[in-house]
């Protein structure tokens, strides 16, 4: 049982670490600031979630779990808003011109 749990931890944490690496790579490789922001918010939140998931079996009391989950929820909340906030702050000045053609070509109206 313990071995299974340990294996689960190793797998989840490793996968989480891979996503962190992906976030960093995106941050370094993507061509513009906004694309980098995509990499950051999406990959890192997933990475953090996986790390939390992996750590759950390692916490002595099952009641310690929920603290970890609280951390993840809060990180998700602030990650989602902070990403949007930064996007608004770092968008290049010409963003309005870029959207000038009007509604996107395949915009669906419902």
Partner 1 sequence: MSLPLSRMARGVGFFGFWLLLAGPGVLDVAAGTPSGGPVAWAAELVLGLLASLAATWASLRLLPPAPGRVRFTTLARLAARFLWQSILAGVDVALRAFDPRLPLNPGYLAYPLRIRADTDRALFGAYTSLMPGTLPVGSDTNGALVYHCLDLEKPIAAGLAGDEALWRRVRMGGLGDE
Partner 2 sequence: MNEFLLAAAGFVLVTVALGLIRILRGPGDADRILAAQLLGTGGVAAMLLLGVATGLPGVTDLALLLALLAAFAAVAFVAGSGRGAAGGATPGVAEGGTGGEEPE
Partner 3 sequence: MTSALAVDAVLALLIFGLALWINAARTAYGAALGFMAYGLLLALVWVRLAAVDVALTEVALGAGLTGFLLLGAAARLAPDASFDAVGVSGKGSRFLIALLCAVVAVGLAAVVLVLPDPAPTLAPLVHANLARTGVGNPVTGVLMAHRAVDTLLETLVLIPALIGIWSLSSDPDWGGRPGSLPDLSSNGPLTLLAQVLPPFGILVAIHLVWVGAEDPGGKFQGAAVLAAMWVLVLVAGLGRAPRVTSQASRLLLVLGPLVFVGIGIAGVWLAGAFLAYPEEWAKPLILAIEAALTLSVALVLGLLLAGPPVADGGGVEPRP
What does the binding site for partner 1 look like in residue numbers (CB under 8 A)?
A: 18-19, 22-23, 25-26, 29-32, 34-35, 37-39, 41-43, 45-47, 61, 63-67, 69-70, 73, 76, 79-81, 83-84, 87-88, 91, 95-96, 98-99, 102-104, 106-110
Tokens of 48: 């953090």
99 binds, among partner 1, partner 2, partner 3, none (CB under 5 to 8 A by kind): partner 1
**Residues in touch with partner 2 (CB under 8 A):** 6, 9-10, 13-14, 16-17, 20-21, 23-24, 27-28, 33, 36-37, 40, 44-45, 47-48, 51-52, 55, 58-59, 64, 67-68, 70-71, 74-75, 77-79, 81-82, 84-91
Cβ atoms 33, 90 nearer than 8 A: yes
Least Cα distance to 46 among 7, 9, 83, 72 occurs for 72
Least Cα distance to 44 among 11, 70, 83, 9 occurs for 83
d(CA 37, CA 47): 15
d(CA 89, CA 95): 12
Residue with tokens 């294996």: 7
Complex with partner 3: residue 1 or 59, whichever CB lies closer: 59
Site residues (CB under 8 A) for partner 3?
Answer: 74, 77-78, 81-82, 84-85, 88
């Amino acid at each position: 049982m313990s071995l299974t749990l340990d294996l689960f931890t190793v797998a989840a944490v490793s996968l989480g670490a891979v996503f962190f690496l992906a976030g960093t790579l995106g941050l370094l490789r993507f061509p513009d600031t906004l694309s980098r922001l995509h990499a950051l918010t999406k990959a890192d939140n997933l990475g953090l979630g996986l790390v939390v998931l992996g750590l759950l079996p390692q916490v002595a009391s099952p009641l310690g779990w929920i603290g970890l989950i609280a951390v993840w929820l809060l990180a998700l909340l602030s990650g989602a808003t902070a990403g949007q906030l930064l996007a608004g702050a770092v968008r290049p000045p010409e963003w309005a011109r870029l959207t000038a053609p009007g509604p996107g070509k395949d915009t669906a109206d419902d």
